Amino acid sequence: MLGAVQLGLLAACVVLFVPMGMAGWHLSRNKMLFFSCALFITLAVGVHLTPYFPSISAFLSASEVIISTPAILYHDSCVLLLHRVVYKDVRECDVDSNFDDNESVCKRSWDWIRNGEVDECEFQKLKKSDASDLLNGSWVVVAGDSQSRLMVVSLLELIMGSEGVEKVKGDLFKRHSDYSVMVEEIGMRLDFVWAPYVANLTQLTLRYKGSKDFPDILMMGAGLWDMLHVNNVTEFGVSLRVLRDNVLALLPVSSSLVADAGGGGVSEPKASHLLHLFWVGMPTLITSMLNTAEKKERMTTAVYSSYDNELAGSNLLRQSGGPLLKLDIGLLSEFCGPRCTSDGMHYDEVVYNTALQIMLNALLIESNQKPQ
Ligand SMILES: *[C@@H]1O[C@H](CO)[C@@H](O)[C@H](O)[C@H]1NC(C)=O
Ligand SMILES: *[C@@H]1O[C@H](CO)[C@@H](O)[C@H](O)[C@H]1NC(C)=O
Ligand SMILES: *[C@@H]1O[C@H](CO)[C@@H](O)[C@H](O)[C@H]1NC(C)=O
Ligand SMILES: *[C@@H]1O[C@H](CO)[C@@H](O)[C@H](O)[C@H]1NC(C)=O
């Protein structure tokens, strides 16, 4: 907050010296006092209003290098309300679809809870056209385990429609492999990186750091494999902290925003210049429904909460002062409940669709854009 301090000093000087200068111009002491007060009030009001005018704040913060994941964002009260959703048993059917069978086009419906606080945030379910505008020309990377892969399915379905996704599903679901697609229509590159362990996510961030080439949006998440195959919560915590340090090392890349703000031209959506970071949380596990004895034994509620605590304590998430905004699959899947899963771990697409819309709305807030 160097900028604010300097501004404060400048303001103090103005309040002090301008009236003194005027005294030199033979103003009476009363007039000088009047000017002094008027200036003080103007400056004070100005300083307090500044945060509400994004262009001024952007200009003022142009001297700071770390901008990427502004701490301010988490204090935006709407970000705190993004997960206030509810699932309904009625199904929503996509009437425009050409599909004959209703299974693939009818989805369990969800919505944000309609109450004053949440309403004021004007969250919107983005349709294909809104999402296309928002993601136009961007490079999106989703890295992690099968939960992250399901996020990719939701994203592709929104952008390309169900039919488009059917065509690529074969490649996307090749066991344990990466997948990459260029959506020509909007110039969006989407990479899915198979990275089941937290350590794999760290390797990925090192790769970006090395190549100095970064995606615009990076969604990642892991934990289930660490839980099942390593099963040592201490080690999990250590690897999360290593990941956090490496993600933080990536952050100054967003300095392109500084150039933009300094140039005064705010013609392009800023979304395409920032590194937006999200964490795909672990789903709620329903132990009795898990499909192997090993999973039932190792992925108990107690183990799950110890892993979750480790995550909270790692300062990786924005919620605890870290760089990544959590898409709380755990909470969303819990809301949806056992009726939304057949194996106690992978949930119906409505859960991931909700998480995707939460992500997109967070992007809108981050880039100061209001949906139409
Ligand atoms: C699909 O669902 C719609 C509305 O829910 C219904 O009118 C229609 O008959 C259904 N079609 C089939 C093939 O089941
Ligand atoms: C994407 O952006 C380019 C240029 O910025 C524009 O010409 C094009 O129409 C946009 N496409 C969509 C689908 O919004
Ligand atoms: C992920 O990390 C594990 C353990 O560090 C390693 O054995 C494995 O090869 C990595 N997998 C990928 C896809 O990088
Ligand atoms: C878990 O990992 C830590 C650190 O690597 C090690 O000291 C500890 O013995 C491990 N615990 C178990 C139960 O293996």
**Can you give the CATH number for the domain in which 207 is found?**
3.40.50.1110
Q: Are residues 46 and 192 in the same domain?
A: no
The structure's pTM equals: 0.73
Q: Residue 154 falls within a domain, yes or no?
A: yes
Q: Residue 63 falls within a domain, yes or no?
A: no
Q: Are residues 197 and 135 in the same domain?
A: yes
Q: Are residues 354 and 224 in the same domain?
A: yes
Q: Residue 344 falls within a domain, yes or no?
A: yes
At 180, the amino acid letter reads: S
Angle at 62 between CA 57 and CA 67, to 5 degrees: 85
Burial 326-351 (b: 16+ CB within 10 A, else e): bbbbbbbbbbbeeebbeebbbbbbbb
Q: Are residues 33 and 119 in the same domain?
A: no
Residue nearest to atom 9 of ligand 1 (CA): 102
Q: Residue 210 falls within a domain, yes or no?
A: yes
Q: Residue 371 falls within a domain, yes or no?
A: no
Q: Are residues 134 and 280 in the same domain?
A: yes
Q: Are residues 123 and 179 in the same domain?
A: yes
Q: Are residues 38 and 185 in the same domain?
A: no
Q: Which atom of ligand 2 is nearest the CA belonging to 187?
A: 1
Tokens of 312: 């909270």
Nearest Cα to 368, choosing from 266, 237, 244?
A: 266
Q: Which domain holds residue 236?
A: 77-366
Starting from the CA of residue 93, give the closest ligand: 1
| pLDDT < 50: residue spans in the chain | 1-2, 37, 39, 43, 53-73, 75, 104-105, 254-273, 370-372
Q: Does ligand 1 come within 6 angstroms of the Cβ of 91?
A: no
Tell me, in angstroms, the distance from the centre of ligand 2 to residue 123's CA: 24
Residue 77 has a pLDDT of 83
Q: Residue 60 falls within a domain, yes or no?
A: no
Residue 162 has a pLDDT of 86
Q: Are residues 169 and 255 in the same domain?
A: yes
Q: Does ligand 4 come within 6 angstroms of the Cβ of 231?
A: no
Q: Are residues 250 and 156 in the same domain?
A: yes
Q: Are residues 167 and 243 in the same domain?
A: yes
Q: Are residues 361 and 263 in the same domain?
A: yes
Q: Does ligand 1 come within 6 angstroms of the Cβ of 102?
A: yes
Tokens of 137: 């020309």
Question: Strand 188-194 relative to strand 139-144: parallel, antiparallel, unpaired?
Answer: parallel
Q: How many domains does the chain have?
A: 2
Residue 58 has a pLDDT of 44
Q: Residue 23 falls within a domain, yes or no?
A: yes
Q: Are residues 153 and 249 in the same domain?
A: yes
Tell me, in angstroms, the distance from the centre of ligand 4 to residue 226's CA: 13
